[in-house]
């Protein structure tokens, strides 16, 4: 790789002039400007970004630590983030981590000058870090600044309102405690019931960290008395799991029981599409990148992103 010295030598000018031509480019005699550009072309010279980084004290690299369990959702995040980051001449440095220790380790390795900022995505464990230049996305620590959360209360309320409008008044709720948003979900759930003048039945709610299949089993065992006809679950993976379990119990979906996912639904061929709340990864990525570009990062605060109600198109089931 040729350096600025090679170019300046070939063009017969100084390094400073070369630099001027390539950035700014004003206040340079046309003759030497042309000479520089010709030399650049000939040597296929491109400035070394590392040397530039050393000077500017910023690399344009954004670390992204994925602590997401749901690997499907991860891809959505990455796709949207990469798109927006590269549009702003930034680079995405990818890391996976499954627990706090791994997150901290990754953070250590990324914040030695390599990354300007770091995003932590989908951590379902507490990591009370005071680190600067770290943005938490869909993580447990909601009280922290610099974080983006999903509006789980709104999601649950919207979901219930939809289900109720569909004539489903007995809505079961299975949301494991690990999601870190059970209280918000329950809030939205209750709010929807209140607004529709429906009674709250404690027996329809499962928010322990016990397995969802056990919870569903309990529900099904008491199905004659409970008589539930809708089921709210945390995400699309959970949804597919319970659908399989329901069908094994001769319950048809959505006729007998309408399953609703509070975070995205699978759009794969051969997979039952269900109503769901979906979050715009694009909007989220745009928001994050605009944050990153603002210099006054101390005023980031927190941001709550609302999802959209997505209803499966009947016609698409040929």
Residues at the interface with DNA (CB under 7 A): 3-5, 12-20, 22-24, 27-29, 31-33, 45, 47-48, 51-52, 54-55, 57
* CB nearer a copy of itself, residue 34 or residue 71: 71
**Residue 100 lies near a copy of itself (rule: CB under 8 A):** no
Residue 210, Cβ neighbours under 10 Å: how many? 13
Of 203, 161, 112, whose CA–CA distance to 309 is shortest?
Answer: 161
What character string, x for contact with a copy of itself (CB under 8 A) and - otherwise, covers 242-261?
Answer: -xx---x-------------
- Which span sits near a copy of itself by CB under 8 A: 31-39, 59-67, 117-125, 293-301? 59-67
User: Binding to a copy of itself (CB under 8 A): which residues in 10-39?
Assistant: none
Query: Which of a copy of itself, DNA, none sits in contact with 314, Cβ below 5 to 8 A by type?
Result: none
* CB nearer a copy of itself, residue 164 or residue 253: 253
CB of 141 to a copy of itself, least distance (A): 22
Token pair 């499962």 in the structure block, residue: 206
Residues 6+ away with beta carbon under 8 Å from 154: 188, 306, 307
Cross-strand pairs, 172: 231
CA dihedral in degrees (244, 245, 248, 250; nearest 10)? -100
Alpha helix locations (H) across 88-226?
A: 100-110, 152-165, 182-195, 212-221, 223-226
Residue 127, Cβ neighbours under 10 Å: how many? 21
In angstroms, the CA 212 to CA 232 distance is: 11
Q: Which residues bind a copy of itself (CB under 8 A)?
A: 1, 46-51, 53-54, 59, 61, 64, 71-72, 74-75, 78-79, 82-83, 86, 89, 91-96, 106, 108-110, 112-114, 237, 240-241, 243-244, 248, 266, 268-272, 318
């Amino acid at each position: 790789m040729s350096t600025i010295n090679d170019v300046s030598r070939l063009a017969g000018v100084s390094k400073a002039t070369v630099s001027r031509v390539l950035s700014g480019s004003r206040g340079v005699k046309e003759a030497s400007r042309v000479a520089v550009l010709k030399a650049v072309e000939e040597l296929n010279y491109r400035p070394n970004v590392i040397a530039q980084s050393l000077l500017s004290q910023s690399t344009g690299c954004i670390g992204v630590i994925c602590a997401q369990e749901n690997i499907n959702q991860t891809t959505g995040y990455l796709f949207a983030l990469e798109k927006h980051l590269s549009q702003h001449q930034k680079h995405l440095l990818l890391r996976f981590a499954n627990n706090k220790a791994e997150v901290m380790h990754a953070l250590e390795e990324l914040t030695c000058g390599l990354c300007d900022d770091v995003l932590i995505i989908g951590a379902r464990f507490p990591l009370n870090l005071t680190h600067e230049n770290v943005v938490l996305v869909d993580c447990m620590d909601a009280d922290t600044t610099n974080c983006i959360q999903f509006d789980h209360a709104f999601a649950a309320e919207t979901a219930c309102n939809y289900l109720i409008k569909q004539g489903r008044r007995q809505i079961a709720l299975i949301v494991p405690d690990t999601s870190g948003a059970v209280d918000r979900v329950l809030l939205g759930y209750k709010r929807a019931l209140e607004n529709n003048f429906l009674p709250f039945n404690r027996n329809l709610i499962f928010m322990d960290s016990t397995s969802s299949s056990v919870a569903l089993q309990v529900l099904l065992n008491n199905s004659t008395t409970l008589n539930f006809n809708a089921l709210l679950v945390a995400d699309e993976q959970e949804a597919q799991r319970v659908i399989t379990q329901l069908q094994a119990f001769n319950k048809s979906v959505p006729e007998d029981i309408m399953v609703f996912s509070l975070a995205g639904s699978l759009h794969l061929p051969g997979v039952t599409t269900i109503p769901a709340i979906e979050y715009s990864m694009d909007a989220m990525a745009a928001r994050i990148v605009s944050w990153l570009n603002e210099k006054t990062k101390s005023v980031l605060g927190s941001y709550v992103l609302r999802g959209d109600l997505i209803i499966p198109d009947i016609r698409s089931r040929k």
